[in-house]
Amino acid sequence: VAAKSMSALAFVHPNDVEDAYRELRAGSPPNLLPLLDYFEKTYIGRTEYRQANNDNGRVVLRRHVIPPRFEVSMWNVFHRTIDRRARTNNAVESRHCQLIKILGRHRGLHRFIGRLAKQVALMNVRIEQLRAGAAAKEPTPLQKQRSARLFTLVQQYEQRRNQPLEFLHSVAHSIQYLD
């Protein structure tokens, strides 16, 4: 649960991510510390204290903030969940994989352009179908159930703000990873 709880941080209000991370870290087993260090460096940011000499020549500790590689605003989905917007780019990834399969290894520019033109035509037909009211691909019942549970948990965030570990563990149980 502790490892999945790192992913659950994406559902914490952006202003509370750092505090929730600190609680998660404090309650995690020692064997997860290397993973948590990586996570902190990449997604949370760090504050280090370094020794330096002040104007009087005395050694003092200076606070040095190291920003994360990816700002919280890039990966946090709290507001997207509340607004019921897509939380991932899975549709884009899926389409990319489909194009790779369809276009495959092409021998010659004409063959490649022909396959690409066919895909553009098919996409245009699908767009027109959707505009005419055709149903989009429905999520599975399990996907709907998990999404509804995540929505409910995030909606109740304010009541659970003071219990970040409980919130993270609840969200962690609702997250599904692809095999």
**pLDDT surpassing 90 at residue 145:** no
Contact in structure between 18 and 24 (CB atoms under 8 Å): no
The pLDDT assigned to 179 comes to 38
Rounded CA-CA distance 110/82 in Å is 47
Confidence of residue 178 (pLDDT cuts 50, 70, 90): very low
Rounded CA-CA distance 52/133 in Å is 67
Rounded CA-CA distance 136/134 in Å is 7
Q: What does pLDDT average to over the chain?
A: 87
- Express each pLDDT in 58-74 by its tens digit: 888 888 889 999 999 99
- Express each pLDDT in 110-131 by its tens digit: 888 888 888 889 889 989 998 9
**pLDDT surpassing 60 at residue 165:** yes
Encoded tokens for 153: 């948990």
